[in-house]
Amino acid sequence: MESHVVVIFPHPDDESFGTAGTIAKFREEGVPVTYLCGTLGEMGRNMGKPTFANRETLPQIRKQELIDACNVLDIDLHMLGYRDKTMEYEDRQEVAQHIKQYIEDIKPSLVITHYPGYAVHPDHNAMGAAAIEAIRMIDEAERPTVWTHAIANNRVDVLGEPDVTFDVLPWFDKKMEAVLAHASQAGGMLERFKSYEGPSADEKKAAQKRLGREQYYIWDFNKA
């Protein structure tokens, strides 16, 4: 069993769409989980559906959504304070040193982050690269295991099959509750899943097909 898991992503909602089932599994097992969130996602294009945010109000809204989602998942949250859509321009060594301080303080047995180069969004790639560099700087005997989340469509063709696959259907309701806490980003999914009658069987099945598996590649520091 893991002693402590640290999740490192750049945006509010990355933790919910990508890893909430995994997080819920660990929490059910009694494993502490901490989320290091890089930005507030304040440059996101989604302003709610129907619109309830604007460029000025979105940062605070997304911050509260992030807090709410972390409360749903029962995880500790640290906001790193970077600006959305600028992670690729930050000094990677400085970001890595910032993250390293948290890792050395928390001493997790496992870190989950994005797979650099296969995470689609520049912020995802940059944050994943900084997180891996932070852990690379830690003495090998003290390093946590690193699971990386790849999103790119060609990930299996290039990287092969993921090393870790979780069927998260046992925790799917918890995952959807976390996803829907990000109301500005959940789009049309929100109304279907929060309606009084609940989602139809087809809608729930489609959501489970899309979000019911969470997969990771174990980072090999000897090869990368």
> pLDDT tens per residue, the chain (224 residues)?
899 999 999 999 999 999 999 999 999 999 999 999 999 988 866 666 667 667 778 889 999 999 999 999 999 999 999 999 999 999 999 999 999 999 999 999 999 999 999 999 999 999 999 999 999 999 999 999 999 999 999 999 999 999 999 999 999 999 999 998 998 887 655 555 555 456 677 777 777 878 889 999 999 998 75
Contact 76, 7 (CB under 8 A): no
Task: Return d(Cα 156, Cα 162) in angstroms, integer.
Answer: 7
Note the pLDDT of residue 39.
97
- Reported as a single tens digit per residue, the pLDDT across 85-119 is 999 999 999 999 999 999 999 999 999 999 999 99
Note the pLDDT of residue 52.
67
Reported for 89-93, long-range contacts at CB under 8 A and 24+ positions apart, including other chains, are 90/126, 90/130, 92/126, 92/129, 92/130, 92/133, 93/133
**CATH 3.40.50.10320, applies to 5-218:** yes
Place of tokens 């090998």: 140
Note the pLDDT of residue 205.
78
